[in-house]
Chain A
Amino acid sequence: MRLTLINVIVAVVIAIAFAAVNAAYLVWAERRGAARIQRRPGPNINGPFGLLQPPLDGIKLMAKQLTIPGGADRILFIIAPILAMFPAITSFVTIPFSETIVAKNMNVGVLMIFAFASLGSMSLLIAGFSSRNKYSMMSSVRAVSQAVAYEIPMLITAITVVMIAGSPDLMEIVRQQSPSILHWNIFPLLGNSHNILMPLAFLIFFVCTLAETNRAPFDLGEAESELVAGFHTEYGSMGFGLFFMAEYANIVIGSCMTTILFLGGWSCPFGLFPGVWWFILKLYLLIATFIWIRWTFPRTTIYGLLNLSWKILIPLSLANLLLTAGLIKVF
C-alpha cells in the first residue's frame, strides 16, 4: 500500500474513532459487568441491552453547563480534561492491530506510547491544582506520586520485552512472538530468551497498568469514600465526561500494550488464522479482567500502594531485567 498523506489521515481518524467508541462503550460494559457481578440488571432501558445509554449520556453531559468554580484557574481548568483525553487517543495511532491494520507504525512505538502515558498524569495534576478544592488537591498529589512509582517498574518490564525482541518497534515485537504460543513473551520457552520469570513480568506489567490507569484496587486518586470524587470533584458537563472517557481509553491502551508485549498481539495461540480478531479477543479478555477486579477488591491504602511499587515491584522487575540480559547473552 502506497502511503499517501490522505491514507494516513484516514487511518488516523479511524484509530481515533475506535478509541472514542471504545471509551464510550466500555462505560456501558463496565456498568453491565458490575451489574452482573452484583446480581442486578444494570442499564437495560435505552435500546437493546441498554446499548443506547452511552450516546444518551454523552448528549446529557454536553447539554449541561460547564461551571468553573470561583477562584479556580480558568485556563488550566479547561485545558486539563482535554489534556487527559488527547494522549490517550493519540496513542492509538501507533498500535498495530494486525500485520496490516495500523494507522501509522513507528519504529519507536513503545517509547511513544509511554511518553504519552506519562502525559496523562500531568492532566490529573493540572485538574487537581486548578480547581482549588482541597479534595482535588490531595487527589492530584496522590495521583502523581502513584504515577511516578508505577511508571518505573512498568518501563523496566517493557524494556525487558524490548530487549528480548531486539527492537522497540511494536510490529517487530509481535512478529517475534508469532510462531506459536510458546514464543509469547509471557512464557518464552522458545525464541530469544528462555527466562522462566516472564510470567512474573507479565503480572508486574498488569498491576502497573491497573495503577497507571487509576483503576481499582489502586484508584487512590478518585477514592470516592475519602476524596469525594478526587481530581474531578469540581468538573461537570463534558469536562467530567472527558475525564471519564480518558480513563477507559487508557484502559484500552494499557490492555493493547499488554497484548502486544506479552500475549503475542494478533498471533493465534495454535498458529491458526492469525489476524485482528485474535487481537480483539485478547484485548477484551484483559478489559473484562479489569472490570472484574474493580468490582471484587476493596481499595488499597496510599502507603500500601507505594510500598508495593518501591519495595516489591521495582526490585523484582530489575532482577528480571538483569536475568533476561544474562540469558540473552548466554543463548
Chain B
Amino acid sequence: MNAPIELRADETFVLNVGPQHPATHGVLRVKMEMHGEYIVNAETVIGYIHRMHEKMGELKTYPQFLMNLSRMDYLGALGYSHAHVLVVEKASGIVVPERAEYIRAIMVELNRIASHLFWFGAFVMDLGGFSPLMYALQDREHILDMLEAVTGSRLTYCYFRFGGLYNDVDDDFIAAARRFVPRMRKSLKKYRRLVTDNVIFRKRLEGIAPLSKEICRKYGASSAVARGSGINFDVRKNEPYSVYPQFDFDIPVYPQGDSLARYMVRMDEIEQSLRIVEQGLDKLPGGPIMPEKKPKLIKPPPGDYYQAVETARGSFGVRLVSDGGKTPYRLKLRSPTYSNMHLFDEACRGMMIMDALAFMGSLDLVIPEIDR
C-alpha cells in the first residue's frame, strides 16, 4: 500500500487529527497531509497540555515535587515516582530497607499490568471492538482496589518516600494479590481467544507499520516499540535497579516490528509482570519500611545524577543536577512516549489513515506524559 509519489499541492488536503479526536486519546494534534485515504506527510504537534513539571522541579523542594511525578502519566504513575525517589536516594546516599524495595517492585508491576490492560482495551477500541475495553477495565479495577487500600489513591499515587514507603502492606493486600494472579492469567487466556486469535484483528495488524531497528534507534524508542522491532532492551535487565536482579523474568522480544508485534510484547509483559508479583510476594522479607537513619532535610551534595527505570511506556529517566541546596538546580525528565511518538511522523508516510491510527494506538501514547 504505497501512496503515489508525485503530487501537486492542489491534489492533497490537510486533515487535522486532534487536538480533540477519539483516536489520539488526549490532546495530541497530528497535521496530516492527505491524498484521499493515504497520508503523504504527517506532523505531530504537541504542547497542548504542557504543565511545566521540569520548572516546578527546580522551584519545589524534593518532597514537595514528589507528587508531581504521578501526574505525568496517569496510567502508570508509580513507575515515574519510582525513578524520582531512586535518583534522590542515590544522590543523598539513603539506604532503602529491603522490604520497602520489594513492595515497591510489586506495586510498580501491578501498576504496569493496570496500564497495559487499559492500553489493551483502548487499542482494541481504536480498531472498532468495544467489549474488550470493558473486560480489561474490570480486571484493572481489581488492581486499583488493591492499590487504593495501601496507597490511598487510585490513579495519582504519592506512595513512595525518599528511603521507603508511606504505608506498609497488610495481609489483606497480600491475599488479594495472590488471588489476583491466577485470575489475571485466566483473563489473559480469554483475551487471547477473543482478541488475539480474531481473524479481523490479525489482518488489521499483521505487517502493518513495520518499524526497523534503525528508526527505533534514531528516535530513541523504548518499551514495546523497540522490543517489537527486535531490540532486546529493558532497563530492568540492562541497567538493573532496585531488587529486579533478584527476580526471574523474561523480556519478550518480537523481531517483526509490525503493530501486532508491539501488541504481543505488551500482552506477554503482563504475564512477566505477574511472575514478578508472584515472586515478590513469596520473597517478601520482614522489617521496617523506612530507614532508621534518614536526613531530616533532603539536600543532596552537588553533582549530576541520573536514574532510568522501565515504566509501562518505556525507559523513563530523571536527571538531577544538584547544587547542594534544598531544591534541585535542574531536573530533566526524559519521557519515553516523547521519543516513541516522534517516529510516527516518519513511519506513517504512505499509510492509509486507518492503519496509521491503529499504528498510533500500538505506540501506547499518554499525552500528559509527552508534554510534561
B204 CB contacts on chain A under 8 angstroms? 298-301, 304
* Contact among A39, A217, A225 with B126 in the assembled complex (CB-CB below 8 Å): A225
Looking across the interface, which residue of chain A has its beta carbon closest to that of B355?
A: A301
A303 CB contacts on chain B under 8 angstroms? 1, 352
B353 CB contacts on chain A under 8 angstroms? 138, 226
12 contacts between A and B (CB under 8 A): A38-B135, A39-B134, A40-B134, A134-B13, A135-B15, A138-B353, A226-B23, A298-B198, A299-B127, A301-B204, A301-B352, A301-B354
How close is B15's CB to chain A, nearest CB, in angstroms? 5
Are B21 and A228 closer than 8 Å at their CB atoms?
A: yes
* Contact among B36, B37, B127, B352 with A298 in the assembled complex (CB-CB below 8 Å): B127
With A298-B127, A298-B129 as known contacts, state yes or no: A226 contacts B357, CB within 8 Å. yes
How close is B118's CB to chain A, nearest CB, in angstroms? 15
* Contact among A224, A226, A295 with B354 in the assembled complex (CB-CB below 8 Å): A226
B352 CB contacts on chain A under 8 angstroms? 301-303
- What separation, in Å, do the CA atoms of A316 and B202 have in the docked complex? 24
Are B200 and A298 closer than 8 Å at their CB atoms?
A: yes
Question: Does B130 belong to the interface (CB within 8 Å)?
Answer: yes
- What separation, in Å, do the CA atoms of A168 and B204 have in the docked complex? 40
Interface contacts beyond A226-B353, A302-B37: sample of 4 additional A-B pairs, CB < 8 Å, sorted by A: A138-B37, A225-B127, A297-B200, A300-B204
Question: Does A148 belong to the interface (CB within 8 Å)?
Answer: no
A276 CB contacts on chain B under 8 angstroms? none
How close is B23's CB to chain A, nearest CB, in angstroms? 5
How close is A83's CB to chain B, nearest CB, in angstroms? 25
Are A296 and B131 closer than 8 Å at their CB atoms?
A: yes
Are A225 and B198 closer than 8 Å at their CB atoms?
A: no
Among B1, B124, B127, B198, find the residue whose CB has the most chain A CB atoms closer than 10 A. Answer: B127
Are B134 and A225 closer than 8 Å at their CB atoms?
A: no
Question: Does A216 belong to the interface (CB within 8 Å)?
Answer: yes
Instruction: Give the secondary structure class of B's interface.
Output: helix
* Contact among A34, A134, A138, A223 with B130 in the assembled complex (CB-CB below 8 Å): A34
How close is B348's CB to chain A, nearest CB, in angstroms? 13
Type the 1/0 row for A216-250, where 1 means its CB is closer than 8 Å to any CB of B: 11010001111010000000000000000000000
Question: Does B201 belong to the interface (CB within 8 Å)?
Answer: yes
Type the 1/0 row for B185-202, where 1 means its CB is closer than 8 Å to any CB of A: 000000000110010110
Are A304 and B131 closer than 8 Å at their CB atoms?
A: no
How close is B325's CB to chain A, nearest CB, in angstroms? 48
- What separation, in Å, do the CA atoms of A84 and B127 have in the docked complex? 27
Type the 1/0 row for B261-276, where 1 means its CB is closer than 8 Å to any CB of A: 0000000000000000
Looking across the interface, which residue of chain B has its beta carbon closest to that of A299?
A: B128
B130 CB contacts on chain A under 8 angstroms? 34, 38, 295
- What separation, in Å, do the CA atoms of A37 and B15 have in the docked complex? 35
With A38-B131, A225-B23, A302-B352 as known contacts, state yes or no: A217 contacts B37, CB within 8 Å. no
How close is A228's CB to chain B, nearest CB, in angstroms? 6
Question: Does B203 belong to the interface (CB within 8 Å)?
Answer: yes
Are A300 and B203 closer than 8 Å at their CB atoms?
A: yes
* Contact among B125, B128, B138, B198 with A216 in the assembled complex (CB-CB below 8 Å): B128
Question: Does B303 belong to the interface (CB within 8 Å)?
Answer: no
Looking across the interface, which residue of chain A has its beta carbon closest to that of B204?
A: A301
- What separation, in Å, do the CA atoms of A65 and B126 have in the docked complex? 31
B131 CB contacts on chain A under 8 angstroms? 34, 37-38, 295-296
B182 CB contacts on chain A under 8 angstroms? none
B127 CB contacts on chain A under 8 angstroms? 225, 298-299
Question: Does B245 belong to the interface (CB within 8 Å)?
Answer: no
- What separation, in Å, do the CA atoms of A228 and B124 have in the docked complex? 16
